Amino acid sequence: MLVYHLPGTFDTREAHLDLLWEAGATGLEERAGLIRAYFDDRTVLPAPVQDGEWRQEADQDWLAEFKANLRPVTAGRVTIVPPWLSAEVPAGQVPLIIEPGMAFGTGHHATTRMAVEALSSLELHGRTVLDVGTGSGVLAIAAALLGADAALGVDIDPLTVPIARENAEINGVPHGRAVFEEGTLGSDLPEHHTPDGPFDVLVANLYAELHDLLAGEYAAHLIPGGPLVLTGILTSKLPLVHAALEREGFTDVHVRQDGEWALVTALA
């Protein structure tokens, strides 16, 4: 693997990045005060970027490295693991197997972990759950494994649907207990879905501005008193979410934080 090491960062060398692309770089990466430009062949570079150094490096299997570094994630009563670590789930924990892939939601992001924790603190037996922005299906599957009667996961990205369905199957979720459809709230919510709304619980890992836009829909899709679990919220954006929940008449609002990320729970 041929890599050109250029001192600086994407910020300090912003004006020079195009020169690297134009010279044939196949990828650019910033690491430890260095820009790493990947090339197939050595080439003569223009003057502004000649202060770097060519290096021949051993090929790295990034995917293998990423997979080797994955660890089980404990979130309340649930432990989220990739398939090859399923034997590492401690006794008494509910195993939730997620194949790391194209869809967001391996459990390694603070927002997913906090949302699974929040679901695991609710009594879900006999209840229906709507998961908006389901990604890998992790939250809907967690709900089903925690005893929910039925969970519906929707996502505007159609690529997530087969991934979420496959994850439900890997977890042995009985047919119909975790259902995945392309869609969102409002007019786009799939019309003939099962379970039918209004739902007993609604969970959404999106972002603050979208929660603000969808807050009325959240209220419309929940039973009175139904728990709402929202995350994907940067702590700096909490006021926007608080205002939206107040506007739509939600009560009992609580916030949990993990670093820069927040999770908000409330009752419809």
> Which residue lies nearer to ligand SAM by CB, 76 or 135?
135
Residues 79-108 that bind ligand SAM (CB under 6 A): 103-105
Among 122, 132, 142, 152, binds ligand SAM (CB under 6 A): 132
Give CA–CA dist 159/180, Å, rounded. 11
**Secondary structure element (H or E) that encloses residue 256, with its range:** strand 251-258
Residues 150-209 that bind ligand SAM (CB under 6 A): 154-157, 160, 184, 205-206
> Which residue lies nearer to ligand SAM by CB, 74 or 184?
184
Helices (H), the chain: 14-22, 62-68, 110-120, 138-145, 160-170, 208-221, 238-247
The number of residues that bind ligand SAM (CB under 6 A) is 21
Stretch in the footprint of ligand SAM (CB under 6 A) among 53-61, 85-93, 129-137, 165-173? 129-137
Instruction: Please give the full DSSP string across 182-205, using - where no structure is assigned.
Output: E--SGGGS-TT-SS-SSBSEEEEE
Among 36, 232, 244, 261, binds ligand SAM (CB under 6 A): 232
Among 139, 142, 168, 178, binds ligand SAM (CB under 6 A): 139
DSSP label at residue 102: S
Shortest Cβ distance from residue 63 to ligand SAM (Å)? Answer: 20
Q: Contact letters (x/-) for ligand SAM, 17-56, by CB under 6 A?
A: ----------------------------------------
Shortest Cβ distance from residue 158 to ligand SAM (Å)? Answer: 9
Cα distances (Å, whole numbers) of residue 190 to 23, 83, 196, 230: 48, 30, 10, 21
212, exposed or middle or buried, with CB in 10 Å at 0-12, 13-18, 19+? middle
Question: Order of strands, edge to edge, in the sheet holding 227-234?
Answer: 178-182, 150-155, 128-132, 201-205, 227-234, 261-267, 251-258
> Which residue lies nearer to ligand SAM by CB, 39 or 261?
261
Describe the crossing of helices 208-221 and 238-247 by its angle, rounded to 10 degrees.
Answer: 20
> Which residue lies nearer to ligand SAM by CB, 82 or 135?
135
State the residues that interact with ligand SAM by CB under 6 A. Answer: 103-105, 112, 115, 132-135, 138-139, 154-157, 160, 184, 205-206, 210, 232
